[in-house]
A and B are shown apart, each in its own frame.
Chain A
Amino acid sequence: DVKVTQSSRYLVKRTGEKVFLECVQDMDHENMFWYRQDPGLGLRLIYFSYDVKMKEKGDIPEGYSVSREKKERFSLILESASTNQTSMYLCASRRYGYTFGSGTRLTVV
């Protein structure tokens, strides 16, 4: 069965910290995505990647960066975490439909 694994279910970080959210897929998919989910705002695309070392900005990239050094791994980086980045973060990979990870609930204090 296809799997997308996010390294942490819950994270608490301090304002100003550098935060890494890791995502690994085992399906050999080329396309990977990072979304942020907030109540009443649905799923908003932060960044996506079509291939290794390739990245594209989504709808809300400000304050975030990404890294895709290997096909199976797509990392989301918060260079200096802020309280307005407290949210649920969802990683997905895609061939035809999306397969999502279980999400990382990040709290920035």
Chain B
Amino acid sequence: GQQLNQSPQSMFIQEGEDVSMNCTSSSIFNTWLWYKQDPGEGPVLLIALYKAGELTSNGRLTAQFGITRKDSFLNISASIPSDVGIYFCAGPRAGKSTFGDGTTLTVKP
């Protein structure tokens, strides 16, 4: 099936630092989705991207849909302890989504 490669696999950062993570695919996607999973909970949709080159913000989060349509980036500015969790990218295709393996973020106060 389709594969989405997320990097980095994990990050350990200090509170206040900015965070960048990305997701790449060998296939083209028409939509990119970013989810966050808090410890012990299900993933929650953060940002949806629908157009190549699109840059969308949601508070301290900014995501971009790559021009080639094969990648996407998520940035978090001025991280805080509640940013801790697993961040997943997803690409819908044929009625179901392929998810990346996730980036686990740890924020040290």
Contacts and interface: CB of A to CB of B under 8 A. Distances in A.
The yes or no verdict on A and B being binding partners is yes
Contacts of B109: none
Interface residues of B, number: 20
A48 interface: yes
Contacts of B90: 98
A45 interface: yes
Counting chain B CB atoms within 10 Å of each CB, the highest count among A42, A45, A58, A100 belongs to A42
Interface in B10-64: 33, 35, 40-45, 48
B73 interface: no
A100 B44 contact: yes
B88 interface: yes
Contact of B45 (A4, A31, A97, A101): A97
Contacts, number: 47
Nearest to A91: B42
Interface string A70-98: 00000000000000000000101000111
Contact of B100 (A42, A59, A100): A42
Interface residues of A, number: 23
24 contacts: A4-B42, A35-B99, A42-B88, A43-B88, A43-B102, A45-B96, A48-B95, A48-B96, A58-B96, A90-B42, A90-B43, A92-B42, A96-B48, A98-B43, A98-B45, A98-B90, A98-B97, A99-B45, A100-B35, A100-B43, A102-B40, A102-B42, A103-B41, A103-B42
The 10 tightest CB contacts between A and B, nearest first, are: A100-B42, A42-B101, A43-B99, A97-B45, A100-B43, A102-B42, A103-B42, A101-B42, A90-B42, A102-B41
Given A35-B99, A97-B33, A100-B43, 16 more contacts: A4-B42, A31-B95, A40-B101, A41-B101, A42-B100, A43-B88, A43-B99, A43-B102, A50-B95, A96-B48, A97-B45, A97-B48, A98-B35, A98-B90, A100-B42, A102-B42
Interface of B: 1, 9, 33, 35, 40-45, 48, 88, 90, 95-97, 99-102
